[in-house]
Structure 1
Amino acid sequence: MSKALVVFSGGQDSTTCLGWAKNRFEYVESITFDYGQKHKVEIAQAQKIASLLHVKNTLLSLDAFSQLNDSALIDSTQDIGAHHRVHTNLPASFVPNRNAIFFTLAHAFAQKQGIEHIIIGVNQTDYSGYPDCREPFVKALELALNLGSEANITFHYPLMHLTKAETFLLSKEEGVLDLVLNESHTCYNGEHSEKHTWGYGCGECPACVLRKQGWEAYEKGI
């Protein structure tokens, strides 16, 4: 049986990946991380979406990021639209080493579950300034993790070279566009009460702006 694990935040990208995985693997489960993010509503939405798609979802809690407090996604005193206070060439929403830790834990979890495929929603086209969303990083980490555990687990990243508009199109093709629009959460400010044509969010943070622009391009036929 082909088995896959989706690193699942409950956002647009990972919801699209969850639909993509379910259409390609015989068995799919997901893993979600609570790392002290301000927009905790994404955790609730991840669990809801996984339930709607009949996917087992495991929630792992990580206190270390809250202790480091090195991102506007965790520290409410930082401006989400500013530059990162240490990595000044990156946005304030950058969480140092977050993906490295998430993917490492997912790799360990996959070994425990006997899963040989991990699906991640990283993207280097609309990557918003995150160097740990680029293909060279993922390939290097995959190699290191497999070498370090004598495993043969493959990372899949179906959104890597897609624009946000193309991601909307893929979600439609995979049958999860309605879930993306009505259930997924991307907004950095945790706003999930105001519904727009492109989904829920404040409409002003970088994540919302990118999603809105992608939806508008999608509606125009990309």
Structure 2
Amino acid sequence: MIAEKALVVFSGGQDSTTCLFWAQQHFSEVQAIAFDYGQRHKIELEAARSIAEKAGIQLHIFRMDLLGQLTQNALTSQEMEVEEAKPEDRPPNTLVEGRNMLFLTYAAIFAKARGIHHLVTGVGQADFSGYPDCRNDFILSLNSTLNLSMDYDYTIHTPLMWKDKAAIWQLADELGVMEIVQNETVTCYNGVKGKGCGHCPACMLRNRGLENYLNSKKA
């Protein structure tokens, strides 16, 4: 365990919840930060509050609803339907442009004011679904930019970067939080807790990963 503080960018979903408990095992003190960015399903923030409380981690929530006014996407607009199949020629309409960059930037500002050098985020390239701000190259670039822009030594940790969903379920199981991740997180694009709606892209990816992991345990 590193005897330093870490700040987890937390949404209440499968990936960030797994990262939250991963951080608890790797750092002596963990805090979490979440953003109300105008997402259509506030149940995400409710889940984040509940999970952070169970984990004994202080959660800070900040409003950033301007993001939903700057760009049109299915996660901030009530008028757009979530695409159930990934388009061939563009990212899915659930992409919130600039979200991870802004979240990590604001998290870095918050962290520096509190002497925190370690940022943890649940982005991953293995199942990145066409989101450019989940790629490793982006994280490395932003890490360098944050260090330069604030003259401060940050390390952005991405424990899920090279894991597919089955491997993420395995990590949750190894951390002893499989039940919490299965039943209390909100990954579904339609805002359904736990197993989700079952048919949106996020649910299909999550549920296929769970099935693959459980099958691998039987083998």
Instruction: Identify the TM-score tier after normalising by the shorter chain.
Output: over 0.9
What is the percentage of aligned positions where both structures have the same residue?
A: 45
Residue-by-residue CA offset, 1:162-221 (whole Å, 9 max, x unaligned): 0100000001111211110121110111123xxxxxx33111111001001001101111
The corresponding residue for 2:95 is: 94
Change (3 A) 1:98 1:88: farther
Query: TM-score, with normalisation over the residues of structure 2?
Result: 0.94
- After superposition, where does 1:31-42 map in structure 2 within 5 Å? 31-42=33-44
Question: What letter matches 1:49 in structure 2?
Answer: I
- After superposition, where does 1:40-119 map in structure 2 within 5 Å? 40-81=42-83, 89-119=90-120
Structure 1 unaligned blocks of 5 or more: 193-198
Task: Note if contact 2:31-2:57 (Cα within 8 Å) is conserved in structure 1.
Answer: yes
**Number of residue pairs matched?**
215
The corresponding residue for 1:196 is: none
Residue-by-residue CA offset, 1:59-112 (whole Å, 9 max, x unaligned): 011021221241110112212116899x95100000111111001001101101
Query: TM-score, with normalisation over the residues of structure 1?
Result: 0.93
Q: Distance in 2 between matches of 1:83 and 1:178?
A: 29
Task: Note if contact 1:38-1:188 (Cα within 8 Å) is conserved in structure 2.
Answer: no
Task: Note if contact 1:39-1:187 (Cα within 8 Å) is conserved in structure 2.
Answer: no
Larger deviation: 47-56 or 88-97? 88-97
Question: What letter matches 2:189 in structure 1?
Answer: Y
The corresponding residue for 1:21 is: 23
Structure 2 unaligned blocks of 5 or more: none
Counterpart secondary structure, 1:23: helix
Q: Distance in 2 between matches of 1:84 and 1:168?
A: 23
| Alignment RMSD | 1.7
Question: What letter matches 2:199 in structure 1?
Answer: E
Question: What letter matches 2:158 in structure 1?
Answer: Y
Q: Distance in 2 between matches of 1:73 and 1:12?
A: 17
The corresponding residue for 1:211 is: 206
